[in-house]
Amino acid sequence: MRTHIRPAAPDELATLQDVERAAGAPFRALGMPEIADDEPPALSTLEHYRRAGRCWVAADERDRPAAYLIAEPVDGALHLEQVSVHPRAARRGVGRSLIAHAAERARAQGLSALTLTTFADVPWNAPYYTRLGFRTLAENELTPGLRRIRAEEGEHGLDRWPRVCMSRGLGRP
């Protein structure tokens, strides 16, 4: 599948929600039905990221979104809030391309790193990001913004499963 990265269009936000629902479905097989059934970001939330210029899609050969990424600057880094790849595009480098695009944008903005929070034991989460050059941050390395994000995740019940904060400097490929 050939894809190209571009900003999301206003009329694609509902499609991004569909991508997220499809991307979440495999969590059911891991005994994480709450994650599989979790609602994607609201249209207003996606529009916030789109208007801010931090909502990118990997579009297929027909220019339809096959994946998306939303991000927010947090404590001098670009925090990847969500990376979702539709199963039809999985294991083809689509997520890697989106993350590389986000890294380029972060470098251009003078940010120092990419950060994210993710499930520690889900194969396509922390182990995947480790392969992309991210490292798990120790508790004493968490910035105030990352601590706030983790607290919000805990309030939403995500701490039912082990989670980690990860970072990758922007000097890496």
CATH of the domain at 148: 3.40.630.30
**Which class for 34: exposed (0-12), middle (13-18), buried (19 or more C-beta within 10 A)?**
middle
Q: Check residues 79 and 171 and name the one with the higher pLDDT.
A: 79
- Res. 22 pLDDT band, cuts 50 70 90: very high
pLDDT(171) > 80: no
Residue range 128-145: mean pLDDT, rounded:
96
The residue type at 36: A
pLDDT(172) > 90: no
**Predicted pLDDT of residue 1:** 62
* pLDDT tens per residue across span 64-109: 999 999 999 999 999 999 999 998 888 888 999 999 999 999 999 9
**Predicted pLDDT of residue 91:** 82
**Predicted pLDDT of residue 67:** 96
Q: Check residues 2 and 127 and name the one with the higher pLDDT.
A: 127
pLDDT(63) > 80: yes
Residue range 108-128: mean pLDDT, rounded:
94
Q: How many domains does the chain have?
A: 1
β-strands 77-85, 65-74 pairing: antiparallel
Q: Where do we find the tokens 């059934």?
A: 37
pLDDT(13) > 70: yes
Domain residues for the domain of 84 are 4-169
**Which class for 31: exposed (0-12), middle (13-18), buried (19 or more C-beta within 10 A)?**
exposed
Mean pLDDT of the chain: 93
The residue type at 10: P
Give the rounded percent of residues in the chain with a pLDDT score beyond 90: 87
Give the rounded percent of residues in the chain with a pLDDT score beyond 70: 98
